[in-house]
Structure 1
Amino acid sequence: MARTISIGNQSFEEIREKGYFLVDKTNLIKEWWESADSVTLITRPRRFGKTINMDMLNCFFSNRFQGRGDLFEGLSIWKEEVYRRLQGSYPVIFLSFADVKQNNCKDAIQKIKTIITGVYRQFFDTQDKLPSQIVQMMQENMSDVAAQSALQILSEELSRRCGKKVLIFLDEYDTPMQEAYLHGYWDEFTGFIRGLFNSTFKSNFYMERGIMTGITRVSKESVFSDLNNLTVVTTTSEKYASCFGFTQQEVTDALDEYGLEESSASVRQWYNGFTFGSHRDIYNPWSITNFLKEKRLFPYWASTSSNGLASKLIRTASADLKEKMETLLNGQSITVNFDEQIVYSQLDENESAIWSLLTASGYLKIENIEYKGIFLEPWYTLRITNLETVGMFSAMFRGWFSSSDANYNGFVRALLSGNLKEMNLFMNDVALATFSAFDTGKHPSARTQPERFYHGFVLGLLVELRGRYSVQSNKESGYGRYDICLIPQKTTDPAIVLEFKVHDPDEEKTLQETVESALKQIEEKAYDSMLVEQGISKKQIRHYGFAFEGRRVLIGGN
């Protein structure tokens, strides 16, 4: 009989006690312990088993679970006598920053203080016979300086009482950093978090070893400036490659257990494709477990996050980056250079960081790495991970135009029906509602802002017209490069060429003249050539010129 699946249950103890579905990942215990690394940072996408694995480590090593070998009976780690003796033999400090999602620095630091206070209370229910310094640490109104030292002081007290140095497990270490960047208090927050990390993991004589998990690899300069004992394990590393996510064999076994063998091809298309080290067939565990329970294909993983940071960075990025996103959404790969470390304070200036973020988040997979130049810089060949992540990007791009004032769908309908009056009406609504969202606001430009907007507009068209049109931008045809071309999949639909121009008062007196200039360019540059070569009749091709002046748009056609 198939085991019960408890969705969202991150308690290793409860899952084992009640016999719920669990894939054996106890090889992580052995691999990590035998590495002998002092402090390990492991980055994996969200919902990839980081928290349940950290809870498993806690259940295995913590002396609070001494004598609970029953939790590991039947699992691979319990086959080795040396690890049976190791179980339940260390004081362990286990905490998570997953809930630190405040919109200002003061509240974020206060939330961390509350979490630290809660950790203290796990060990000491009363203040009796505790040193005054420990009593101070148990107060949520402690100073920032006291909070930075709190885990080190707790380590000393536990080590003194247990006669052993402590293990420290910190889950979702980077959640507060993403929030600090999104809400604009990064510089203010990093001073506090740097002091906390250095006191806990660097200058802590009472720590035996530590593990941190998160989604991103935050740069050492940002928060780990003095932490030279840190081993970083990213998605490109071989270490722990099969410890997070499900392997092909694990998925095959699970489908067999639940009588879903015939779904293996569809499941592979939807949920496979994550790459960790040299492992190319890692499945998304959140979606797999949901599929096993619900027995239907659905974007389970893509529906669990707002993807706010990725959406903001892509939306406000340059036209070049949006063109690369267009290439990816069309099922092709791109090759880019980036640093796996993320410097949040530089995200607005260094666009290559978006590729690092999207790869670490699991939205893009690495197909190949080539090292070029005298300094052997890594160049990554990337592709959208699977069908589920295609849907995630589609929802993201559609969300840019979801404002009730945008009337984006109305514009698309008018475009396809050839109603020029409604096109103008709806496009001005779209521009007014969303135009400024496509620029960072730091370097506004009358020329760059429309360019960012129209490439975002292309991504929106890719989503709305998928299956009916092939949407291409900035491709060669005739004697130049058209802005946007809609190539119909059915012979009954028209082909459409769009040209965007920013009004230049030195060259055109009115927006109408700018429109006419755009239409003239389509004709003179013979942008129809590529369409005609594909057998599309000239009569079936429409031309539209878009003229921008600020947020005002005028569209003309022929």
Structure 2
Amino acid sequence: MDYISCESAAKKMGVSTRRIQQMCKQKEIVGAIKDGRNWLIPDNAILSPKKPLPIGVSDFKSAITNYYYVDKTLLIRDFLNAIPMVSLFTRPRRFGKTLNMDMLRVFFEKTPEDTSVYFKDKYIWQCGEYYTKHQGQYPVIFLSFKDVKCSSWEETFQKISKLISLEFMRHDELESSSVLSSYEKEQYHRFASNSINEVDCQIGLQLLSLLLHKHYDKECVIIIDEYDTPIQQGHLCCFYNEIVNFMRNFFSGGLKDNPHLAFGFLTGILRVAKESIFSGMNNLKTNSILDDNYSSYFGFTNEEIKEMLAYYEYEDKYQEILEWYDGYRFGSSEIFNPWSVINYISDQCFPKAFWQSTGSNDIIGEIIGTATPEITENLYKLFCGNTITTYVDTSVIYPEVQTNPYSIYSFLLVAGYLKVAAIYPQNDGNYMCDVAIPNKEILYVYEKEVLNRTNQNNVSISIHQAIFSKDTRKLQSLLEDFMLKSISTMDGANEAFYHGMMLGLCAVLGSQYKVRSNRESGLGRFDVELLPMMKEMPGFIFEFKHTKDINVDLDSLANSALRQIDDMKYDTELKDFGVKNIVKIGIAFRQKSAVVKRG
């Protein structure tokens, strides 16, 4: 047979050389052989059709058989190097947790089918016998709570009990087991038929692991996916105490001091440790987004993105995909949002905020509803591209959103709305972090969730029009009307409050302007600057003044703000960017009154 190089094959087939190399690596070109570090292609090779993208696919066998699969099997290697008794992985939603847990199930589970065929061309099979000898050797209990999103404790319990029953039914080998006693088989039938109460459910993991251990003479692997989904629902729908108490007993029976457990895995968004759900579990190893362990296995790495773009022949879209879906940092790894990336490529590389429609954002509404003026200002600073420094508690729990306003940043970080720009470890095991919005996609999520939740979107558009038309009377009227309807007389205690309010109202301009706050320019720091995306558009400089004194003339105070803009040369940055039309606006505030002046 005649062979040609990858470069020649690429020209012949009309695709990139990288695409041919990727196809050889994934065994998509029949007859391709490795010659040293290079591939040789049969001259008569036929290009295989591209595999579809696994949108919404969480079944491992289906993902690797029918779809483009990003190989994450080295997660198994890293786990077997340490073998902690129970591993908890906390990651944002839609970052591949369920698919990875199903991968672990297929790898470890002992079944009549030879499941090694799903791994022999994957990275884990190249790691040696120490790792491959574990394949297909354990009974596995697998439960996913990702769809347990009910509005009451009664419905939640019914759904969880049904899931437990279905997992008993999946292990129907126990029904004909020759080693189980009559009583044990009776217990199996009772759980499999869903004739169980709440106390029964709490010992479900413990009982099923006992029966499987006795049947197979091998300890069990227990996998619980999205364990905290019903806990979030409990918080939102007022049955938090009931679900937490249930989970505490459920996990204690299955994962704490269980002689029938080989090892266990859990995934979720939050580590709900403060509620003692994992009380006394000194065998739990938590792997959060701030830890280096397993940092590259949830979401796509930079190299994986480049390979995927080459496969689908979209290499020229790399920069766009960076701007829209990169920016996450898990441990020391730079990570892309996998859900958004595969939807972006499937949508012929038209960028959209795919992630915002993948789950409930009710928590965001609660955050906005309880935010202090300082936190509201910081949320808008984040929207405007700024970084803030905050204490991060990786074991934040849902009720703290209401009782501890500074837990907002911790929740937004672990839930995927923020990224870590820098980490400063603390002695208590938590961190001080510089946090920021990770990418354009999340910027749009913020624009929708934050602005809409604060009921400022419509008034922001009107204020945008008044600013753009340089109509100071209209702007003053809109501001006073907005303050009359939305703020308390107690709110306007200082200039910082009005600064944050104006940042929020200007944030709707984010698609046309870079909204900057408290930045160095000229001889000092301006309050707010609107830097146009296109130099032909006008740029704006705002300076704010505030007084509580009813004897102070607001007109004079607003004029002093304008003079400060000139005296301190705050327009220097705009001029450096080539903006020729610069509008200077001074605003003086007192309680619910404002005076706007234009220079």
Instruction: State the Cα distance separating 1:411 from its structure 2 match.
Output: 4.2
Instruction: State the Cα distance separating 1:268 from its structure 2 match.
Output: 1.9
3-state secondary structure, aligned to 1:30: helix
**Larger Rg, first or second structure (1 or 2):** 2
1:251 equivalent to 2:305? Answer yes
1:29 equivalent to 2:76? Answer yes
Q: For residues 537 and 107 of structure 2, what CA distance do their matches in structure 1 show?
A: 65
Deviations 1:208-237 (A, max 9, x none): 110001112222444222222110001121
Q: For residues 95 and 21 of structure 1, what CA distance do their matches in structure 2 show?
A: 25
3-state secondary structure, aligned to 2:61: helix
1:160 equivalent to 2:214? Answer yes
Cα 1:87–1:449 change in 2 (3 A) is farther
Contact 2:141-2:220 within 8 A present in 1 as well: yes
Instruction: State the Cα distance separating 1:184 from its structure 2 match.
Output: 3.4
Instruction: State the Cα distance separating 1:357 from its structure 2 match.
Output: 1.8
Alignment of 1:15-54 (within 5 A): 15-18=63-66, 20-54=67-101
1:365 equivalent to 2:419? Answer yes
Q: For residues 147 and 283 of structure 1, what CA distance do their matches in structure 2 show?
A: 38
Contact 1:66-1:87 within 8 A present in 2 as well: no
Residue 94 of structure 1 is matched in structure 2 by 142
What amino acid maps onto 2:93 in structure 1?
R
1:62 equivalent to 2:109? Answer yes
Contact 2:554-2:594 within 8 A present in 1 as well: no
Of 128-137 and 187-196, deviating more is: 128-137
Deviations 1:482-529 (A, max 9, x none): 9x6454646874847475879x8xx65xxxx8xx75544434565544
Instruction: State the Cα distance separating 1:167 from its structure 2 match.
Output: 0.6
Of 418-427 and 152-161, deviating more is: 418-427
Contact 1:397-1:459 within 8 A present in 2 as well: no
Alignment of 1:115-126 (within 5 A): 115-124=163-172
What amino acid maps onto 1:204 in structure 2?
N
1:267 equivalent to 2:321? Answer yes
Instruction: State the Cα distance separating 1:126 from its structure 2 match.
Output: 10
- For structure 1, the 5+ residue unaligned runs are 437-443
Alignment of 1:67-146 (within 5 A): 67-79=114-126, 80-124=128-172, 131-138=185-192, 140=194, 142-146=196-200
Q: For residues 414 and 38 of structure 1, what CA distance do their matches in structure 2 show?
A: 62
Q: For residues 75 and 411 of structure 1, what CA distance do their matches in structure 2 show?
A: 56
CA RMSD of aligned residues (A): 3.8
Contact 1:371-1:379 within 8 A present in 2 as well: yes
3-state secondary structure, aligned to 1:465: helix
Q: For residues 522 and 316 of structure 2, what CA distance do their matches in structure 1 show?
A: 49
Q: Pick the aligned partner of 1:173 from 227, 237, 243.
A: 227
Of 255-264 and 408-417, deviating more is: 408-417
Number of aligned residues: 532
Contact 2:381-2:517 within 8 A present in 1 as well: no
Q: For residues 312 and 525 of structure 2, what CA distance do their matches in structure 1 show?
A: 53
Q: Pick the aligned partner of 1:409 from 448, 451, 461.
A: 461
Cα 1:557–1:65 change in 2 (3 A) is farther
Q: For residues 194 and 142 of structure 2, what CA distance do their matches in structure 1 show?
A: 18
Contact 2:328-2:419 within 8 A present in 1 as well: yes
Residue 21 of structure 2 is matched in structure 1 by none
Instruction: State the Cα distance separating 1:191 from its structure 2 match.
Output: 1.6
Residue 340 of structure 2 is matched in structure 1 by 287
Q: For residues 544 and 158 of structure 1, what CA distance do their matches in structure 2 show?
A: 72
Residue 13 of structure 1 is matched in structure 2 by 61
Q: For residues 152 and 269 of structure 1, what CA distance do their matches in structure 2 show?
A: 47
Q: Pick the aligned partner of 1:463 from 504, 507, 528.
A: 507
Instruction: State the Cα distance separating 1:329 from its structure 2 match.
Output: 2.7
Alignment of 1:99-498 (within 5 A): 99-124=147-172, 131-138=185-192, 140=194, 142-279=196-333, 281-296=334-349, 297-314=351-368, 316-371=370-425, 378-401=431-454, 407-417=459-469, 435=486, 446-447=490-491, 457-466=501-510, 468-469=512-513, 471=515, 485=528, 487=530, 489=532, 493=538, 495=540, 497=542
Of 55-64 and 295-304, deviating more is: 295-304
Alignment of 1:503-542 (within 5 A): 518-524=554-560, 527-529=564-566, 533-534=570-571, 540-542=583-585
Q: For residues 393 and 443 of structure 2, what CA distance do their matches in structure 1 show?
A: 24
Q: For residues 91 and 283 of structure 1, what CA distance do their matches in structure 2 show?
A: 34
Identity of aligned residues (%): 30
Cα 1:429–1:218 change in 2 (3 A) is farther
Q: For residues 258 and 427 of structure 1, what CA distance do their matches in structure 2 show?
A: 50
3-state secondary structure, aligned to 1:341: coil
Of 170-179 and 296-305, deviating more is: 296-305
Contact 2:378-2:500 within 8 A present in 1 as well: no
Deviations 1:287-336 (A, max 9, x none): 22223322213322244234332343245322322333333333332222
Cα 1:307–1:456 change in 2 (3 A) is farther
Instruction: State the Cα distance separating 1:457 from its structure 2 match.
Output: 4.1
Cα 1:50–1:424 change in 2 (3 A) is same
3-state secondary structure, aligned to 1:313: helix
Contact 2:86-2:255 within 8 A present in 1 as well: yes
Instruction: State the Cα distance separating 1:173 from its structure 2 match.
Output: 1.1
What amino acid maps onto 2:380 in structure 1?
E
Q: For residues 209 and 522 of structure 2, what CA distance do their matches in structure 1 show?
A: 71
Instruction: State the Cα distance separating 1:168 from its structure 2 match.
Output: 0.6
Contact 1:458-1:471 within 8 A present in 2 as well: no
- For structure 2, the 5+ residue unaligned runs are 1-47, 177-181
Q: For residues 338 and 207 of structure 2, what CA distance do their matches in structure 1 show?
A: 37
Q: For residues 158 and 448 of structure 1, what CA distance do their matches in structure 2 show?
A: 65
Contact 2:557-2:588 within 8 A present in 1 as well: no
Contact 1:66-1:89 within 8 A present in 2 as well: no
Cα 1:415–1:201 change in 2 (3 A) is same
3-state secondary structure, aligned to 2:142: strand
Of 223-232 and 328-337, deviating more is: 328-337
Instruction: State the Cα distance separating 1:431 from its structure 2 match.
Output: 6.1
3-state secondary structure, aligned to 2:510: coil
What amino acid maps onto 1:380 in structure 2?
C
Cα 1:451–1:169 change in 2 (3 A) is farther
Q: For residues 375 and 72 of structure 2, what CA distance do their matches in structure 1 show?
A: 38
Q: For residues 422 and 499 of structure 2, what CA distance do their matches in structure 1 show?
A: 27
Instruction: State the Cα distance separating 1:449 from its structure 2 match.
Output: 10
What amino acid maps onto 1:362 in structure 2?
G
3-state secondary structure, aligned to 1:63: coil
Cα 1:209–1:539 change in 2 (3 A) is closer
Cα 1:340–1:448 change in 2 (3 A) is farther
Contact 1:336-1:381 within 8 A present in 2 as well: yes
Instruction: State the Cα distance separating 1:389 from its structure 2 match.
Output: 2.0
Q: For residues 387 and 84 of structure 1, what CA distance do their matches in structure 2 show?
A: 42
Cα 1:188–1:430 change in 2 (3 A) is farther
What amino acid maps onto 2:444 in structure 1?
G
Contact 1:474-1:481 within 8 A present in 2 as well: yes
Of 327-336 and 246-255, deviating more is: 327-336
What amino acid maps onto 1:110 in structure 2?
Q
Contact 1:98-1:171 within 8 A present in 2 as well: yes
Contact 1:316-1:452 within 8 A present in 2 as well: no
3-state secondary structure, aligned to 1:348: helix
Contact 2:521-2:571 within 8 A present in 1 as well: no
Of 64-73 and 487-496, deviating more is: 487-496
